[in-house]
């Protein structure tokens, strides 16, 4: 089995852990551990911490070290440096909003499995040529929503998706019902107000709702 096939199997495993991967934007790394514990307690073990804030790598490091049952990865991976820093912090996977030749080359050299983003069938085909069968569909709602993704199921039957971007608890079932969707990504599980106030019970309840979507 080739390295890309091995990493794609890892991606498939994490995509099947729960129906939703929370997309987390965290401003205070001190919130990372209680937040992650609340998500895991609610049945959501896979956590994507986006590299959009200065606290992100410290948050990944803390979750990886202290939260049993959590599978933490980095989101908004754009460069080889991002992949290296996330891996060093303890990330188990990486997610990108799109792709570039340099990022894909860096992913080939990295131990981290990558879930790369696409918004068109042409982008999906290009990644399929490189061995990627598990992709992020982003931004899911603005790019065409579940109807577009459903239309890809027949001509691109090899590919499974994690649609992310504009999805909510109420719209997630439309995506999860598709044969080519394994999970969705969503920021609604960790809203900024609950992170700021330390409402871990509230986040656990949101996680339980999300875990119950299947």
pLDDT in tens, 197-213: 999 999 999 999 999 99
Domain assignment present for 34: yes
Residue 213 in any domain: the answer is no
Residue 7 structural domain: 3-207
Domain count, the chain: 1
Mean pLDDT of 179-204: 98
147 catalytic per annotation? no
Question: Can 48 be counted among the known catalytic residues?
Answer: yes
What CATH number has the domain bearing residue 34? 3.20.20.70
- Cα–Cα distance list, 130 to 4, 126, 127, 133 (Å): 8, 7, 5, 9
- Out of 12, 123, 136, 209, pick the active-site residue: 136
Residue 58 and residue 188: Cα distance in Å, rounded? 22
> Is the residue at 183 inside a domain?
yes
- For residue range 131-178, list pLDDT tens digits in order: 999 999 999 999 999 999 999 999 999 999 999 999 999 999 999 999
Q: Is residue 69 part of a domain?
A: yes
pTM for the whole structure:
0.97
Say which of 5, 12, 48, 209 is annotated catalytic: 48
User: CB of 180 within 8 A of CB of 157?
Assistant: yes
Helix, strand, coil tally for the chain in percent (to 5): 45, 15, 35
Quick check: is 141 in a domain? Answer: yes
In a domain, 105, yes or no: yes
Cα gap 173→111, rounded to integer Å:
33
Express each pLDDT in 8-48 by its tens digit: 999 999 999 999 999 999 999 999 999 999 999 999 999 99
Asked if pLDDT for residue 214 goes beyond 80, the answer is no
pLDDT score recorded for residue 1: 87
């Amino acid at each position: 089995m080739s390295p890309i096939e091995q990493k794609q199997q890892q991606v498939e495993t994490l995509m099947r852990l729960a129906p939703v991967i929370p997309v987390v934007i965290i401003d205070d790394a001190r919130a990372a551990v209680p937040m992650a514990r609340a998500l895991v307690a609610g049945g959501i073990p896979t956590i994507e911490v986006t590299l959009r804030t200065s606290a992100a790598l410290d948050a990944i490091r803390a979750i990886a070290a202290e939260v049993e049952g959590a599978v933490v990865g980095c989101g908004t991976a754009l460069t080889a440096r991002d992949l290296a820093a996330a891996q060093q912090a303890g990330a188990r996977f990486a997610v990108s909003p799109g792709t570039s030749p340099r990022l894909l080359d860096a992913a080939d050299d990295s131990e981290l499995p990558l879930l790369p983003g696409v918004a068109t069938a042409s982008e999906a085909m290009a990644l399929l040529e490189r061995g990627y069968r598990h992709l992020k569909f982003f931004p899911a709602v603005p790019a065409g929503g579940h109807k577009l993704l459903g239309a890809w199921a027949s001509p691109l039957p090899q590919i499974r998706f994690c649609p992310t971007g504009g999805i909510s608890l109420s719209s997630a079932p439309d995506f999860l019902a598709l044969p080519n969707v394994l999970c969705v990504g969503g920021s609604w599980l960790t809203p900024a107000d609950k992170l700021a106030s330390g409402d871990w019970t509230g986040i656990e309840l949101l996680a339980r709702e999300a875990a119950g979507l299947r």
